[in-house]
Structure 1
Amino acid sequence: MYELKIALRQVLSRRRQTFFAILAVALAVAVITVMMAMLSGFQTELVKSSIENNPHIVITPQDKKEEFIHLYKYNSARIAEKEGVIAVSPKYLGQAALEHRDNAEGVSLQGVEPEAENSVMKVSEDTIKGSFLSLVHTRHGIVLGDKLAENLEVQPGDSVDVVFPGSQTTSFKVVGLIHTGTSADEVTAYARLDSVQRFFNKPGVVSTIGVKVTDPYQAEVIASSIERESGLDAVSWLEANAEILNLLNTQKIFVNVFYLLIYGIAGFGIANTLITIVAQRTREIGILKAMGASQKSIMVVFLFQSVILGAIGLVLGTVFGYIVTVALQNYEIKVPQEMYFGLQTLPLKIESINFLYAAFFAFIINIISGIYPARKAAKLDPVKAIEST
């Protein structure tokens, strides 16, 4: 195919212009693949933290004036029998103070049934010292967040006093420490449900019931079913994080606009290169047409040039983007937790589909960029083109 040979010769004859056109495409693809990796990583970590660090469904009293769920054992048993429900964990939540020697910290004291809570929240996976399930056999045992334990200067085996106005100060033995990597590590304290109920003088009631389901994305449907049948308020993780998920969707729109701008800049680079070639090769185009080359063939020559420049650029950009993404993953850039919903490092996730998207759209933009100069070359009058030089 002579059109391809001519296209290659013209691309190689202007090496400086070719280099900058390829560089523009490569940088565009690299920047976009890195940004897509950041967006994918951020969304994945956010959804993961929403699913794993919280129950899929949280059940509370329907009446907002009511603090507690009564008959929680009956309700828990009914919910556990529902299709799609894996585990159910009743929980009593109370604010108290922990004291150890001269140290005191305010905490969220959570009374739980250890095995049920572990099934819902996988607390054992976050345990870094001691054992969360040892609460089953320790009536006055307590498991603390590692930051809380550090502030209190305690370790497993030490005792802390739990203090609350109107309740009798009770000594609890630290049997484990957990680390979730979130701010909850500074205020979380787990103890057995019956012990916490007794401490707050609230027997037979709980604050919430946490539910884990087989498919997290069906949590909304199951929550609605629970509300209808129990008369309690059931909120799925999707509903609880609706604002954040909507923010992500809005962010995607702005990011896509940004992608189009970058692709457009790269496309202008290729278009400018091809327009320059048309201006510099006017006589050669005229000779080709005089020798019988059709307008279609001339267009094909310049479209081939656009494809060649774009293909080389997107291959180099994809490789460079992958290298940069892997390097950033290994570097672990620290980010403010309060700005990124508790994330400690900048999350990046390499997904092959992101590279395919970047390559596909870059390739399409490059072809579109070559259409105008190709049409301009094809419409040149051969006589005027030859005489113009």
Structure 2
Amino acid sequence: MYELKIALRQVLSRKRQTLFAILAVALAVAVITVMMAMLSGFQDELVTASIENNPHIVISPQNEDEEFIHLYRLTSSRIAEKEGVLAVSPKYLGQAALEYRDNAEGVSLQGIDPVAEENVMRVSEDVIDGDLMALVHTRHGILLGNVLAENLEVKVGDRVNAVFPGSQTTSFRVVGLIHTGTTVDEVIAYARLESVQGFFNQPGVVSTIGVRVSDPYQADAIASSIERETGLNAVSWSEANAEILGLLETQMIFINIFYLLIYGIAGFGIANTLITIVAQRTREIGILKAMGASQRSIMIVFLFQSLVLGAIGLIIGTFLGYITIVALQNYPIEVPEEMYFGLQTLPLEVEPLNFLYAAFFAFIVNIISGIYPARKAAKLDPVKAIESA
């Protein structure tokens, strides 16, 4: 195909302009692939944190003026039998103060069944000292967030006093420390369910029931089913995090606009190179048309040039983007935990689909960038083109 030979010759004849056009595409693709890796990593980490750091479904009393769930054992067993439900964990939530020597801290005291809570929340994965299952054998045992333990200046084996107005002061032995990497570590305290119920003088009731399901993305449907069957309020993880997930969708819109701007800049680089070639090769174009080359052939020549420049830039940009992502993964960038939902390092996720998206849009932009110069070259009058050269 002679059009391709002519296109390659013209591209190679202007090496400096060709280099800059290729670099424009390569940098655009590299920047976008890195940005997409960051966004994918952030979304994956956020969704994972939302799914794993909280029950997939939280069941609470239907009416706001009701504080507790009664007959929770019967309700828990009915929910556990539902299709798609893996585990159920009733929980009593209360605010209290823990005292150790001269130190005192307000805490969120949570009464749990250790085995059930482990099945729902995988708490043991966050235990950094001691053992969650020690609660099974210790009636007045307690697990503390590591930051809370530091503030109280306690360690595993020490005893702390739980204080609440109207309740009898109760001594708990610290059997473990947990670290989630979030602000929860400053206030969280786990103890056995019956011990906490007794401490608050509320036997036979719980505040919430946590549910873990086999498919987190079916949590909404299962939550709706639970509400219909029990008359209780059931909130899925996606509903509870709707504001954050909505923020991600809004962020995606702005990111896409940013992508279009970068691709546009790269496209202008290619178009500028091709327009310059048209201006400098006017006589050659005129001679080609005088020799019988059709407008279609002239257009194909310049579209081929656009594709060649874009393809080379795409390959280089994909390689640069991948190398950059791998380098950033090997040398993590620390970020403030409180600003990024507990994330400690900048998350990056290598997803082949992101590279495919970048390649597709770069290809489309390259085609569009070559259309105007190609049409301009094809419409040149051969006589005037030769005379004006």
TM-score computed with the length of structure 2 as normaliser:
0.98
What does 1:1-389 correspond to in 2, within 5 Å? 1-389=1-389
- The Cα shift of 1:99 comes to 1.4
Residues in 1 aligned to 2:225 and 2:301: alpha-carbon distance in whole angstroms? 64
Q: Which amino acid aligns with 2:291?
A: M
Q: Which amino acid aligns with 2:48?
A: K
Q: Which amino acid aligns with 2:103?
A: N
- The Cα shift of 1:178 comes to 1.1
Could you list the per-position Cα deviations for residues 318-347 of structure 1 after superposition, in whole angstroms to 9, with x for gaps in the alignment?
Answer: 111111112222222222333322222221
Q: Which amino acid aligns with 1:183?
A: T
Contact 2:181 2:337 in 1 (8 A): no
Q: Which amino acid aligns with 1:47?
A: V
Percent of aligned pairs with the same amino acid? 81
- 3-state SS of the aligned residue for 1:104? strand
Contact 2:274 2:306 in 1 (8 A): yes
Residues in 1 aligned to 2:93 and 2:163: alpha-carbon distance in whole angstroms? 15
Q: Which amino acid aligns with 2:96?
A: A
Contact 2:182 2:338 in 1 (8 A): no
Residues in 2 aligned to 1:315 and 1:340: alpha-carbon distance in whole angstroms? 33
Could you list the per-position Cα deviations for residues 261-313 of structure 1 after superposition, in whole angstroms to 9, with x for gaps in the alignment?
Answer: 11011001000000000000000111111112111111111111100100111
- The Cα shift of 1:382 comes to 0.8
Residues in 2 aligned to 1:281 and 1:101: alpha-carbon distance in whole angstroms? 88
Q: Which amino acid aligns with 1:182?
A: T
Could you list the per-position Cα deviations for residues 74-124 of structure 1 after superposition, in whole angstroms to 9, with x for gaps in the alignment?
Answer: 111111111111100000001111111222211101000000000000001
Residues in 2 aligned to 1:4 and 1:153: alpha-carbon distance in whole angstroms? 76
Could you list the per-position Cα deviations for residues 21-64 of structure 1 after superposition, in whole angstroms to 9, with x for gaps in the alignment?
Answer: 11111111111111101111111111101100000110110110
Give the gaps of 5 or more residues in structure 1.
none
Q: Which amino acid aligns with 2:73?
A: K
Give the gaps of 5 or more residues in structure 2.
none
Task: Between 246-255 and 112-121, report the one with greater CA deviation.
Answer: 246-255
Aligned CA RMSD, in angstroms, stands at 1.0
Q: Which amino acid aligns with 2:382?
A: P
Q: Which amino acid aligns with 1:351?
A: E
Residues in 2 aligned to 1:72 and 1:114: alpha-carbon distance in whole angstroms? 16
Could you list the per-position Cα deviations for residues 181-201 of structure 1 after superposition, in whole angstroms to 9, with x for gaps in the alignment?
Answer: 111111111000000011111
Task: Between 339-348 and 233-242, report the one with greater CA deviation.
Answer: 339-348
How many residue pairs get matched? Answer: 389
- 3-state SS of the aligned residue for 1:43? helix
Q: Which amino acid aligns with 2:281?
A: R
Task: Between 161-170 and 371-380, report the one with greater CA deviation.
Answer: 161-170
Contact 2:56 2:211 in 1 (8 A): yes
Q: Which amino acid aligns with 1:319?
A: F
- 3-state SS of the aligned residue for 2:99? strand
- 3-state SS of the aligned residue for 1:11? helix
